[in-house]
Every structure is written in structure tokens, then in C-alpha cells.
Amino acid sequence: MNQKSFFSAIVIAAVVAGATAFAQQQPHRLYNEIMKDVGATFPSLKKNLDANNGAAAAEDAAKLERFFSETEAFWAPLNTQDAVGFSKRAQQVAAAIGAAAKANDMKTANASYATLQRA
């Protein structure tokens, strides 16, 4: 192999490696990472609702709202409308839980929690 061919092969390999690395970059977290956070936050929210701790419940609800927003961002480019729709509804319910918890309306917050649980 002459020097010119060797240099061309190195350049092509570098371009392919760079393109592969660029294609594998993700603009958001992986779905399973998001769901691990949801799984940890959901029981914390229930515990705080049961303890009538509106401030902590509102924080957990805000986290869930953010996680479901990330879930929506994950599914949207994959054109999965059912998953995107679920994510949007879950964000809305999490926001309702947060608003009720901030107002210390634990009855409404618990009802919204039950709605989210069934979703």
C-alpha cells in the first residue's frame, strides 16, 4: 500500500468514526433513566400526600411533571403518538397535583394522584 492510499484510508476511517459518534449523541436522557427517576419519585409523592406535606408533595409533583416532559421529548421524534399523548396527559395531571398540594388541598391532590396512577 503506498503512502497516499494509506493516508486516504486513515481519513476515511476518521470521518466514519466521527459520523458514527455524532449520530449516537442523544439530545435527551435515555428512557430507562427517566423511568427510574419516575419510579423513585412516585412513592415519595404518595408518602408526602399521605403525610399531608403539601410543600414536599408539590416538589415531587414538579419533578414528575419534568420527567414526563422528558418522556414526551424522548418519544416525539419516534412518531409514537400514543406515548406522546400519555406523556402530555401525565404532565397535566402532575401539574394539577402540584397546584393542589401547594394550596394544601390534599383531597384534590390525592384524587389527581389516583388519576395519574391509573394513566
d(CA 40, CA 42): 6
Look at residue 119 in the predicted model and tell me its pLDDT: 74
Give pLDDT tens digits for 14-68.
Answer: 444 444 444 445 567 899 999 999 999 999 999 999 999 999 999 999 999 999 9
Give pLDDT tens digits for 102-111.
Answer: 999 999 999 9
